[in-house]
């Protein structure tokens, strides 16, 4: 599972920034995680951003600019002044959280919020479609400063590694990443000669309501969302060869997910399941 892992020690600068693991000063739990390299490199001239604004812009926002631009370039889509939307997940606001308020002007403060990040992407890339932030907790980015809270709750793995579906799993491993998808109607992408990596047949979303504790996965709700997705396109889960799971390496969530996947994706041949969190957190 960890043959191609990207796990390394927590940089000293980040350790000093937190200085607390819930029980001992000067330490952070975990001591390892998956970190991006050269994250402070940013060509602000490419996006028409001043050096001052770039300096006070959170690293996560800079990376989102870069990779949104690169994803669109790779796809062949020309987005400027077109009806292209920007839907962004929650962003880590460590710079805004750790800096004295006197160091920011009004524009900087507005630019640090989740809603403003979507707006900034739309502004910098000249996108005319909807600009919407999305925050769904464990399916978005975590702030490094949140490690304190998660360490106290014993959610994080002391080793820093996520070990999905493994008996040695001892919690969630954190990782830094930037993920950008360019989504377009298939018929339009074919017509325009865009580069196509995959097709999505359907998506669904639901909520657990009050079926169980807020932080506990409810298998019936997860299965209901999955079945709705397949029923909506007249397909069956038994047609699937591989299931990419949410599994983070926790003693509660992993067995729950593995069991309902096994019950609903029944097939005569073996079914492969996995979670990329074992490699990148």
Looking up residue 248, the CATH number of its domain turns out to be 3.40.47.10
**CA dihedral (134, 91, 222, 239) positive or negative:** positive
- Same domain for 139 and 226, yes or no, is no
- The β-bridge partners of 242 are 272
- Same domain for 144 and 18, yes or no, is yes
- The β-bridge partners of 134 are 89
- Same domain for 121 and 25, yes or no, is yes
Give the whole-angstrom CA distance, residue 53 versus residue 27. Answer: 32
Residue 191 located in a structural domain: no
Counting the structural domains of the chain, the total is: 2
- Same domain for 52 and 117, yes or no, is yes
Residue 170 located in a structural domain: no
pLDDT tens, residue order, the chain (281 aa): 344 556 666 665 555 444 444 455 444 456 677 777 787 788 888 888 888 888 877 777 888 888 999 999 999 888 888 999 998 876 554 544 444 445 545 444 444 566 678 888 898 899 999 998 877 655 544 444 455 555 555 567 777 778 888 888 777 777 778 889 999 999 999 999 999 999 999 989 888 888 877 777 788 998 999 999 999 999 999 999 999 988 878 777 888 888 989 888 888 888 899 888 887 77
Q: How far is CA 117 from CA 67, 113, 199, 212, 273, in A?
A: 14, 6, 27, 33, 34
**Pick from 122, 152, 182: which residue ends a domain?**
152
Residue 246 located in a structural domain: yes
Give the whole-angstrom CA distance, residue 213 versus residue 252. Answer: 12
Residue 258 located in a structural domain: yes
SS3 for 175? strand
- Which residues, at least 6 apart from 148, have a Cβ–Cβ distance to it below 8 Å? 18, 20, 21, 22
- Same domain for 140 and 63, yes or no, is yes
- Same domain for 23 and 95, yes or no, is yes
What angle (nearest 5°) sits at the alpha carbon of residue 19, between those of residues 11 and 90? Answer: 70
Please, what's the b/e burial string for 104-141 (b: 16 or more CB within 10 A of its CB; e: otherwise)?
A: beeebeebbeeebbbbbbbebbebeeebebeeeeeeeb
Phi, psi of 15 (to 5 degrees): -60, -45
Query: Before 30, cis peptide (omega within 30)?
Result: yes
- Same domain for 140 and 236, yes or no, is no
- Same domain for 25 and 135, yes or no, is yes
- Same domain for 256 and 129, yes or no, is no
Residue 180 located in a structural domain: no
- Same domain for 212 and 123, yes or no, is no
**Pick from 152, 185, 220: which residue ends a domain?**
152
pLDDT for residue 251:
78
Write the DSSP symbol of residue 139: G
pTM of the model: 0.76
pLDDT for residue 5:
56
Query: Can you give the C-alpha Rg of the chain in angstroms?
Result: 21
Q: Decide: 227 and 254 in contact? Cβ < 8 Å.
A: no
- Same domain for 208 and 141, yes or no, is no
**243 alpha carbon, distance to own chain's centre:** 18
- The β-bridge partners of 272 are 242
pLDDT for residue 194:
92
Give the whole-angstrom CA distance, residue 5 versus residue 33. Answer: 10
Residue 157 located in a structural domain: no
Residue 163 located in a structural domain: no
Residue 78 located in a structural domain: yes
- Same domain for 260 and 131, yes or no, is no
Which residue range(s) make up the domain with 229?
201-280
């Amino acid at each position: 599972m960890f043959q191609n892992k990207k796990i390394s020690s927590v940089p000293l600068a980040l350790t000093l920034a937190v200085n607390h693991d819930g029980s001992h000063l000067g330490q952070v739990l975990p001591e390892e995680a998956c970190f991006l390299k050269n994250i402070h490199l940013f060509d602000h001239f490419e996006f028409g951003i001043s050096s001052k604004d770039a300096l006070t812009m959170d690293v996560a926002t800079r990376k989102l600019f870069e990779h949104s631009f690169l994803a669109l370039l790779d796809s062949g889509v020309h987005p400027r002044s077109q009806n292209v939307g920007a839907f962004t997940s929650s962003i880590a606001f460590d710079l805004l959280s750790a800096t004295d308020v006197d160091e920011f002007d009004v524009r900087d403060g507005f630019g640090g919020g989740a809603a403003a990040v979507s707006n900034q992407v739309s502004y910098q890339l000249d996108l005319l479609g909807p600009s919407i932030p999305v925050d769904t907790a464990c399916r978005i980015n975590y702030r490094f400063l949140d490690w304190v809270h998660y360490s106290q709750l014993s959610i994080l793995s002391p080793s820093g590694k996520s070990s999905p579906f493994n008996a040695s799993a001892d919690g969630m491993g954190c990782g830094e990443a930037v993920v950008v998808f360019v989504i377009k109607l298939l018929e339009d992408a074919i017509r325009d000669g865009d580069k196509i990596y995959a097709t999505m047949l359907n998506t669904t979303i639901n909520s657990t309501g009050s079926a169980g504790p807020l932080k506990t996965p409810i298998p019936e709700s997860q299965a209901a969302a999955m079945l709705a997705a397949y029923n909506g396109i007249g397909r069956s889960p038994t047609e699937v060869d591989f299931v990419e799971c949410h599994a983070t390496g926790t003693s509660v969530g992993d067995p729950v997910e593995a069991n309902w996947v096994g019950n609903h994706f029944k097939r005569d041949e073996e079914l492969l399941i996995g979670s990329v969190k074992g490699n990148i957190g």
